[in-house]
Amino acid sequence: MSSDIFSLKLGLNSCYLIRGKTTIMVDGGMPNKLRVFRRKLGRLYIHPEEIKLMILTHSHFDHAGSAKAISELTGAKIVIHESERSFLENSEFAMIKGVNLYGKITLAVFRPFFKRISFPKVKADIFINEKVYPLYEYGIDGKILHTPGHTQGSLSVLLDTGEAFVGCLAHDGLPFRLNPGFPIYAQNIDQIKESWRLLIDKGAKIIFPGHGNPFPVEIIRKQLFS
Ligand SMILES: [Zn+2]
Ligand SMILES: [Zn+2]
């Protein structure tokens, strides 16, 4: 069964709602975005209670910033990788490095701010330890995959129809990149490439990044094998 996909920008973060038999959400937006979230949900005629699960691709403030408020409103269970648990519970920033020159320069400028930005601490309900976590019991034909590289516990959601929601495994558009591709910030670029190989191997076709607009996987395939 194919799912309906809705894109929802909460600040810099492109969040996504995936509706199968239930609705799940990928990422929780920047801090203080509950009002925006409610308004956008209303425009889509989606009731907050429909959302059963909120999968955080990782614990950075721009993806987990409104997770607490949104989960309180919707009742959605929060899902995160076990290794990101303490960052989420303590509102801490998992360190990353600049991948290219632009990433190195901007990170040097922004790192002190990143470290200071806090978001409401929140406890997740489900911790992912395994490489593959199926979503069928939530009425979604797809799975969560452990795709480390940007951070150690980065997760992606892959639908059986090929749509992949990858958080910061890709960046697309300003202020990060001019065009879609590998992230400019990562803990380990080799792991990023390995995670992409996994996603392509598992059937990823259309990429929905945590920042920017969807793009075809061929763009990554070219960068991976160039
Ligand atoms: Zn991040
Ligand atoms: Zn991000």
Query: Mean pLDDT across the chain, nearest whole number?
Result: 94
What is the predicted pLDDT for the residue at 190?
95
User: Which of 55, 12, 60 lies closest to 156 in space, CA to CA?
Assistant: 55
Tokens of 98: 């600049």
Least trusted range by pLDDT, from 98-107, 194-203, 209-218? 98-107
What is the predicted pLDDT for the residue at 116?
77
Ligand 1 centroid vs 64 CA: distance in angstroms?
10
Angle, CA of 146, 115 and 99, to the nearest 5°: 55
For 4-225, give the CATH class.
alpha beta
Ligand 2 centroid vs 60 CA: distance in angstroms?
7
Which ligand is in closest contact with the Cα of 210?
2
Least trusted range by pLDDT, from 3-17, 124-138, 172-186, 212-226? 172-186
Mean pLDDT value of segment 8-28: 96
CA dist., res. 80 & res. 75, Å (int): 16
Ligand 2 centroid vs 167 CA: distance in angstroms?
7
Ligand 1 centroid vs 168 CA: distance in angstroms?
6
Reported as half-sphere exposure (CB side, CA atoms, 13 A), residue 78 has a value of 28
Ligand 2 centroid vs 211 CA: distance in angstroms?
6
